[in-house]
Amino acid sequence: MLKKGIIFVFIVTIMTLLSVLGLLYFKPYEHQNIASDYVQNRVNIVIEDIALKSDYSIIDNDKIYIPVEIIKKYLNSDIVLDKADNRLYLEIRNPVFKLETEKLDNMIRDGIKLNFLTVNIDDKQYLNIRGLEKIFDIDVNYIKETNTLIIDRIKKTIKLGEIKSNAYLRPKKSSFSFVMDKLHTGDKVVVFEECGKWYKVRTQKGYIGYVLNKVIDVKTEEVDINRKINNVRRNVKVNGKINLVWDYVYKYSKDLSKENKIEGLNVISPTWFSINSNGYIINNGDFDYVNQAHKKGYKVWALIDNQFNRDLTRQFLKSKQMQENLIKQLAVYSSIYDLDGINIDFENVYYEDKDKLTEFVRRLTDTLKQQNIIISMDMTVPSTNPNWSKFYDRKKLGKILDYCIVMTYDEHWATSPKSGSVASIRWVMKGIENSLKYIPKEKLIMGLPFYTRQWEEYKDSRGKIKVKSKVLTMKDVERIIKENNLEVIWLEDVGQYYTEYFKEGKKYRIWIEDDKSIELKAKLIYRYNLAGIASWRKGFEKESIWAVLNNIVEANNKDISLSIVKFNGLN
């Protein structure tokens, strides 16, 4: 008997020692090292009562990246991943999330198609889940203390427990298993199931294990579920003149948190959406981009284009189903990304589709106005070209839309047979005046170019002068002038500086856009009392341009308008 007692004491001592060692050294969700720029941001994943010990999420500022394979396995098995395009497709047949109004909810009741960009990290596809929680019907909570991301499916009820007296959390239903963590009186836990004399629980640190049921009080609580993504917008209008810049996004948006606020800029328009023939809008939206833009005081009017493809546009305008899909998707994306506006950029459309386009814009505007967001549309200056200009029914569109943005640039376009300015002052004025015949001045926004073109002129084999061009940013022009030691002259009637040079038997000509030419054009918003200016595109400008535009949009209307009644001989 004595020998058995000694053995029992020895076993208890060893188990206690192991428990203490476990408490001191055990790390519940240890990860393997990975070679990645994000290695320092890797985070443990817990999905309800499952600790994913071999997988991790990545938190980068306000972005939470989850492996797509984990989303498909645990959250939504219907997703389709296009690895080549870094894109996740999701068709939701019975959406449980809510939009801003009941009418919008009814619109998507029969289903919605959505897609989101993924990123490739260490040859694995990840989705930024931030902003998409209600799309996937989940709650997400990051526990900094244990570097753990907890994901819970949204439920009507939840079992909660309160620890009655100090206890141990163990990985198995046995008092002989080692101790994962020590729980104290009053600690709260989530309870998942009862297993004999044990409860399976998750602690506030995100640890999952078992606690004796005698040390815990359990109760079921009703959860106040809010599946509404967003609310009807407030304060979406810009006070004073609009100063918009288009931000060209090929696929992934820039990190605005790393940029200084641009004084005077009040609207930014990322080029995020395009129509497609597969029933999905191509979506390059970014929740964090909008969040950062709003912190800087910018409104966000996301742009949707028609890929400037007239045949695709004709197919789209013929199909009520395609249009309905687009309108539903834009309504959902506007909610997800908390957009203040949508900017429609449909160019190169068959003249015969003019009425269909106008009707589509009306339907889209009627729907998105339920969210109280601003709708604008880009238009060329009026001309006789049927498929580039005449397909815009400016008079009707001017009544439907909040704003019409007239692209008063590309006077001489990329494939122009003749060299010339992108936006000479007289041509810009004529474009505005002709547009005002159809569009109310308080709805007209004037487009400005932050770019110019370098024209290369040469003679072909027959001695005929041929022309080709390439786009230059303002910094490109400064570099060319410096490298070639060029002189510039001011062209009074054009409202721009000009330079030219010869190289290898070819003549190069540049009509320059700079502070002076942009200021001259921008002041026209007071001459014609327009709603504001819109500039193509962010990144093409010199930094000094923003001070020029800020001085104009913030100027006293009366003072500046009086100063330009006559300028450069223009009446």
What does the pLDDT look like over 206-244, one tens digit per residue?
999 999 999 999 999 999 999 999 999 999 999 999 999
Cα atoms in the 13 Å half-sphere on the side-chain side of 316: 30
Average pLDDT in the 185-204 region?
Answer: 97
Residue-level pLDDT at 435:
98
Average pLDDT in the 539-558 region?
Answer: 90
Record the tokens describing residue 276, joined without a space. 């497609």
Residue-level pLDDT at 62:
87
Count of positions (residues) in the chain: 571
How far apart are alpha carbons 549 and 82 in whole angstroms? 42
pLDDT, tens digit, 9 for 90 and up, residues 3-27: 455 554 454 455 544 444 443 333 4
Record the tokens describing residue 544, joined without a space. 């000094």
| Residue pair 459/465 in contact by the 8 Å Cβ criterion | yes
pLDDT, tens digit, 9 for 90 and up, residues 424-438: 999 999 999 999 999
Residue-level pLDDT at 457:
97
The yes or no reply on domain 242-450+513-563 and CATH 3.20.20.80 is yes
* Three-state secondary structure call for residue 423: coil
For the chain, which residues make up each domain, given as ranges? 2-28+155-222, 39-153, 242-450+513-563
SS (H, E, C) 544-558: HHHHHHHHHHCCCHH
Q: What is the value of pTM for the model shown?
A: 0.92
DSSP 339-391: -SEEEEE--S--GGGHHHHHHHHHHHHHHHGGGT-EEEEEEEPP-S-IIIIIT
Question: Tell me, what DSSP letter sits at residue 567?
Answer: B
pLDDT, tens digit, 9 for 90 and up, residues 201-213: 999 999 999 999 9
Give the DSSP H/E element, type plus range, for residue 57: strand 50-60
The radius of gyration of the chain from alpha carbons, rounded to an integer in Å, stands at: 31
Residue-level pLDDT at 28:
43
CATH, range 2-28+155-222? 2.30.30.40
